Amino acid sequence: MNKRRVVITGIGMISPLGVGNEPTWQGLLDGRSGIHRITKFDPTNFACKIAGEVRDFNPEDWIEKKEVKKSDTFIHYAVAAAQIAIDDARIDSKKEDGDRFGVIIGSGIGGLPLIEEMHKKMLERGPSRISPFFIPGLIVNLASGHISIRFNCRGPSSAPATACATGAHAIGDAYKIIQRDEADLMFAGGSEAVITPLAVGGFSAMRALSTRNDDPEHASRPWDLNRDGFIMGEGAGVLLLEERERALARGAKIYAELTGYGMSSDAYHITSPSEDGGGMSRVMQRALKDARLGVTDIQYINAHGTSTPVGDRIETIAIKTVFGDQAYKIPVSSTKSMTGHLLGAAGGLEAAICALAVTNQILPPTINYETADPDCDLDYVPNKARPAKLQHVLSNSFGFGGTNASLILSAHE
């Protein structure tokens, strides 16, 4: 039995580079950094004082005013990104068969800002002041829940929470659901909004974050010899996935086709990847196998590339393990150099970026690449976008707990 083909017909992006697809994509092509000093709280006493915040986002532009306080910011971003994606796909959800329309939107952490807010309120004013919307406002699956309600999506609904692999797992799972003929349309991606004192303090305690506080725009520098940690970002990346024949029948604009998905676990450590990059290698190999492609078929890798000393080095090892000598011929870039690391939303945003790269036949750069690291010796598309002929591209997402996801997107034929 032939598997059904799955294409991307809608994209919704909210990032530190802008609210919407155009400002985010143009910011990437311009090599612009979205990293600045934190404004969501006073970071004076924190080791890391910088992050990729979403600016100029007004939830009331997307959600009724009375509903805004009932949910956390990650839900606001998810709903807005889904609206952008369905408008981009030119689909009227009221005319769709809701039983064949599903949602998989995940989050790595969920409603931490709301948790912090309600905990403070309880301590100061007592438990009677806790909002009745507290629990449904923070739990991870309520992003999918709100989107399902808004667009009458009565099909499969789920919400992975696989740390920094969340968005990619959501897209891969949705891809397989359509491929198995369990749905025709799926929202898929991730959303995150945890630039809060606890989150920044927690990642700082792990010594995972950059402390280049006096130069925020140059702080995220994947593969550069002087990288010193990742930068937290926030936002959402949501795709509208559609069964190919259906999309063609309605004359849809098709960005790219999803052709491969891999999952693996390092089974090694709660936060660090194994030194040989074994889990990373296996997930890329599984995505290639699923797509029925070989190592010479990939023309670009959008890497996990977080700007940590260990992670970037090991991802480089893993890429060379999979692709051998071919690795030196494949451009590899990290758009986290511009957006920061969106944690559970990263895979969703970066899959959207890959779809746009295929559509526009251009590679987004790795900015702030100034000093080569001898251990990181691939072509990292330094500092400037580059035209390229792209047929198949690979997107990597790796999370705490050793959970890994790789997606392959291909030019539609």
Which residues carry out catalysis?
164, 304, 341
Inter-CA distances, 178 with 63, 100, 107, 183, 219, Å: 28, 9, 21, 5, 40
Contact 307, 339 (CB under 8 A): no
Interatomic CA distance for residues 288 and 394, integer angstroms: 9
Residue with tokens 């790789």: 406
- Between strands 300-302 and 256-265, the pairing is unpaired
Interatomic CA distance for residues 41 and 75, integer angstroms: 20
Q: What angle do CA 116, 118, 121 make, to 5 degrees?
A: 110
- Between strands 332-333 and 36-37, the pairing is unpaired
